[in-house]
Every structure is written in structure tokens, then in C-alpha cells.
A and B are shown apart, each in its own frame.
Chain A
Amino acid sequence: MFKSDFVDMKDRLLGKTLTARERDIPRFCDVLIIGGGVMGSAIAYWLKWRTLDGLKVVVIEKDSTVIEKNPNSFKVRSYRDSSTTLSVGGLRQQFSLKENIELSLYTADFFRNIKEHLSVKGGDPPDVQFNPSGYLFLSAEDTAHTLVENARLQRSLGAKVELLSLEKLKEKFPWLNTEGLFLGCHGLENEGWFDPWSLLFAFKRKAMSLGAEYVEGEVTGFNFKQGSEYINQDISSEDVKHLEGAQVKLKDGQTINLNCGLMVLAAGPQSGEIGRLMGLGAQNSIYTAPIPVEPRKRYVYSVHCPDGPGFSSPILIDPSGTYFRREGLGGNYLCGRSPTDEEEPPTDNLEVDYDFFESKVWPILAHRVPAFEKCKVKSAWAGYYDFNYFDENAVIGHHPGFCNLYMATGFSGHGIQQAPGVGRAVMEMLIDGEFKTIDLSRLSFERYIEKIPLWESNIV
């Protein structure tokens, strides 16, 4: 320990720049989290909350800060293509799976008390800017029974929703065109939208203040250990491997090995890709089963519509999956729609397809809310859904390929609102060996291996 200090001092005296801040970068840790988005940060926070100095937690994030310097200004940008910072930040309890409903109820509770959870010494208290506008799910006659069943489940778990008949819909939302509709489900509390950036940074700041270390670098490969001591008689040591650590390419181009005890994969849309780096992907064996997550590009359009429903509207979800919500006070709305499988755009860049708005989003929007006939697109962005192509739900738990690999990924467009609960669940899984707060065992990887999908009907 002291020797390195002297080396450091000598280097400094001789004017050598420290190669990649060598001294600051950890070379081993107890838990290595890949991905410092909202999920990775939430997991790091809960692990440190529980164990404080007892566990060394390192988060690897490839894109945490980019400082753009111009002669007269400089801008800090980061997380350029993480789903977290490009998401719409909706929180709702209107799901069809018990786990999803419980997770978002937990999140509402967490947000309400966020100052107790995520305040740090000497910093402003966190504020996620929650707008409690509620959600309104609309359905046509053929799917109305699902809406009724879901509402029953949601109520039984403690969510407050009301079912609205056509007359009620007309009465409550006079700006709505109810043609083709049959029933609506309206959330009465704990639903709305919040600011994803604030949440991400609150988690990150708190995790760091509790001692989690963030390393800026990209995971480019892995080191394996075979024949680990975890093997029992039933499994031959060829099948089960142990991850010794990750190869991390730092910002200055240097690659280091970072060894760890346990590894948690929370790399959002890139999780499937990182699985391939580990050699996962062959279908023939459960030990090499791929992580069924891939990026899917989704557009969000910001439109200007001064005559829109404004403050009298919840976040509205049309039967087609088209959604809109108010954004700010200037008569702007965010809207979008998930493309069908045939329309799925390429995912090599984040360019926005404005024709998609003209041909697929706008007609539906203007039909549902006639005020939108006269709207103008002001701006737009695209982001990657961390899409689970197996059943569009989170995968949380152990991967059979490696004794020490855990995953929390595949949230398919409803991940950011699950971060507090999932982070806690992963912590419980690693420390207690079982789920204590919310039982997420149905979301484990086993369902992929057994090929029994767990569908969520309310995917937007």
C-alpha cells in the first residue's frame, strides 16, 4: 500500500502522468456491476446500504461523462444511449402481472420517501419531479375483459384504479373521441411521470456516497475459471464455469482486468450482446443459453398543440398502444407508439424517423383526440428499449452458465419505474439468498430455459 504511494509520488515528481489514474482504479471487488444506468446504480445503492464497508462494489459504466468543450462554453453530457436517460419516465400500476404491479407500488412508496432514502450529506435533497397525473388505458370491446381482470388484480394488490364506461369517459374527458372504444381504466393515485435523470443521479450519488466505486470503461471481454469449487457431482466441470473477472477498456485505451466475486449484469439493451462476449448464445445447452435481450429502437415525439387537453388529461394509452402526455407548460406533448414486428427499425443508430409519426402515430392521435389534428412536431428523440424478445418482461436472477453471474435486465420499456424494487430484490438475492420484500422468482431465467413465457398484457 505504501509502496504504491511512493511510486505515485515519484511519478508525479518526475512529471510522469499517471497511466489511467492507475492507482484509483480497483483491480478486484466483491460485486462487479456491469452498466451504471438506473438499474446498476439502484443495485449498487441497495448493496451498499445493506453492507456499507462490508462489501466492495464496483460499477462499470462505459459512458458516464462526456465533456464537450467549446471556446465559450462547455457542456457535460453523458449516458448518451442508455435507455434510462432517453426514457419517458412513466410510473403506473396498470400491469397484468402481480410482480410488475408490486414493483411499481413499491416504487411509488420509495419516491414518496425518497428524501429519507437518497439524501446525502451536504447535497440538495433528491427530487424526481413526480407529476401525479394518472394513466388512462383505453380498450376496444374485444380486449375489455383483460382490462377488467387486470383492474381486479391491481385492486387486490392495493392499487387504486377505476373502470370507466363510455358515458363516464365522455363525461370526465370531454375532449376524447370514444369511437371504437368500450371501456377505460383510470389510475387514481401513484401514477404519473417523473424525471429519469434525477432518479439516476440520486441513486448514483447515494451509492457513491456509501462507497460504491464507478469505473468509466467498457467491458470488452471476460476471464473465466474452469472447474471451480462450486461444482457438485452431478455436473461435470466442463459445463459450469466461473467468471473470474471482466476485461475493461478504460477511456485512455488501456485494458485492465477487474476480478470479482460476483457479477451482476445490468447493461440494459446491450445485455444480450455482453452475454455473447461471455460465450452465451448457443441454444443446445442450458449452460450457454443466450440472454434474450436486444435493443429495439423507439421514437418519442414532442409535439406542440396549444388547444390540447392540457391539465385535464392523464397519460393516455390508446388501444393501439399509441400514448401521449403533457410535457411542461408550453402546450407541448410527448407521444409515440411501439412499431409492429414488421415495422421494427434498424438499431445501429439513434436517428429519428419522422415519417413514422406522420403515418403511424399522428392519425391515431388525431382520431382519438381531435385537438391533435392541428399539432406540429417540435422535436423528437429515439432510445433503445431493453427488449426481452422472449416474453417482454424482466429477467432477474442467476444464469446457469456461470456460478457467479446474476442478471437484472430485459425490462422492455417499463424498467425505470421498477428500479428501486429490483435493486432491492437483487440485493436480497445476493445477500440473503432469497427474495424478502417482493417475490420475483417468477421473473427468473428458468422460464426461458423451460420455454414458458410470462406475458405482460400492458406493454406500451
Chain B
Amino acid sequence: MYGLLSALYSKKNQVLDLHHYNPIRISGFLLNSWKTKTIKDAELLDQAYIPERHQILGNDLASAHFIVYRGGRVKFIGDNFWISKDNKAKTCDKLPNNYVKDYYLEAIDASGLRLRYEGLANLTNLSQLTELRLRGCPCVDDWFVDRISGEFCSTLEHLDLSDCHQVTENALSCIYRITNLKTLVLENIVKSRSFEYACLLLEDALPQLNIIGVKYMDVTKLSD
């Protein structure tokens, strides 16, 4: 009895919201939102911030572990190769399992991962990170970009947000924070005119920045 009922309410709020599961209310919409929520909760659990990981490995290596074991790639300063995990292998040999002094992350490639906003808690204090590739990450949205822009505001030079279809032109409002940003790749997401125009204005405002992947509209078309 207890076990069955406990599945129905979230322990966090300690609110017995049984009435939310009244059979009369159950609909496709409700089931759908319940399903998305369950998937999301599982992902959040998978990407939770584990303080021990950072204490044992140090920030850079801990972030590298986090990314590599979820299918991404990382590159350290001084290395000229990317480290990633073989699909079949259980562990990644190239990644040290102990803290290594002066071993800093230079680039992270999380393309295609379902990296969540909350998961970004694992990518903090990376003092030398200059490149971040988030190509085709389905969960990257404006809030995600906002957090990146604050977290890596002094180091990041290359940011790839191609195919992140939740990113809108509103996200461009925070790019100015990344003072050293040299390239911003926005392939396949700039689909409206106002987004294109916003890219132009952003390039105007930040002289060092080069935006790649935006096919600017024909100036002649503007007149109509």
C-alpha cells in the first residue's frame, strides 16, 4: 500500500497530489507531460553534480570524465588529439583516474549529447577552456547559452551552436559577455529574417566576433 502510493507523489514537496491522478483527468496531454517529465528526471539524475568527482579529480579532469563518459570528446592543453570513449569499451584509458597537476581542458565537444542545463553544474571553473562545441544538442536553449556566457565569459573563443533548434535570437543578447569570443557558429538555426538581422547587429557591436553559418539575405530583397 505504502509503496504503491508513494509512487504517486513527489517526495520533494511532501504534497500528496493524488487528485492529479484522478482517472477522470487522465488524458493524452497529461500522460505525455508525465512521460516527458519522467525522461527528464532520469536525465537530470544522470547529469547530477557529484562533489566527490570534483574533489578527487579536480575541476578540469572531472568535467572531462563527465563529458567523455556520456559520449562526448575533450582535448587538453598540450595534447593534439581528442579523447573519447570507444562505444564498446567500459572505460577510457586515455583519461587519468587521479588528479593531475597542470592538466587543463582546452576544448569540449559535446555535440549531439542530451546535455541539460542542470548538467552544466559539472562544467565549472575551467580556467583555460577556449572551445565549446554543442552541435545538435537538443536541450540547448537560450537559458543554456545564458549560463555558458556567464560561466566562460573570460576564456571562451569558439562556440558552436549549430543545429541547436531551441536557440533563438534572444540568446544573442548575452553573447557580449564572452569578451574574447572570436567565432560563433550558428549553422542551420538562423531561419528568420530578424534572427539574421540580429546576427548582423551583433557582429557590428562586437568587432572581434565572426559569426559563421548565417547566409545573410540578399540586400536587394530587403526593399520589398
Contact = CB atoms under 8 A, between A and B. Distances in A.
A396 to B, nearest CB: 20
Contacts of A122: 29
A190 B146 contact: yes
A310 B15 contact: no
Contacts of A130: 142-143, 170
A132 B170 contact: yes
A181 to B, nearest CB: 19
B205 A188 contact: no
A125 B27 CA distance: 17
Contacts of B117: 112
B57 interface: no
A192 B145 CA distance: 13
Contact of B27 (A50, A121, A309, A326): A121
A188 B142 contact: no
B146 to A, nearest CB: 4
Interface centre among A121, A131, A171 (most CB of B within 10 A): A131
Interface size, A (range): 20 to 34
Contacts of B171: 132
Nearest to B147: A189
B95 interface: no
A311 B15 contact: no
Contact of A172 (B20, B179, B197, B201): B179
Contacts of B182: none
Interface string A133-158: 11000000000000000000000000
B142 A134 contact: no
Nearest to A315: B173
B158 to A, nearest CB: 19
Contacts of A436: 13
Interface centre among A133, A311, A329 (most CB of B within 10 A): A311
B147 A129 contact: no
A112 B116 CA distance: 12
A133 B204 contact: no
Given A311-B172, A311-B202, A314-B176, 12 more contacts: A50-B15, A52-B20, A53-B19, A116-B36, A188-B149, A188-B151, A188-B153, A311-B206, A312-B206, A329-B194, A329-B198, A329-B201
23 contacts: A50-B17, A53-B19, A112-B117, A112-B143, A116-B33, A116-B37, A122-B29, A130-B142, A132-B143, A132-B174, A133-B174, A134-B177, A188-B151, A189-B146, A189-B150, A192-B174, A310-B201, A311-B172, A311-B175, A311-B198, A312-B176, A329-B198, A436-B13
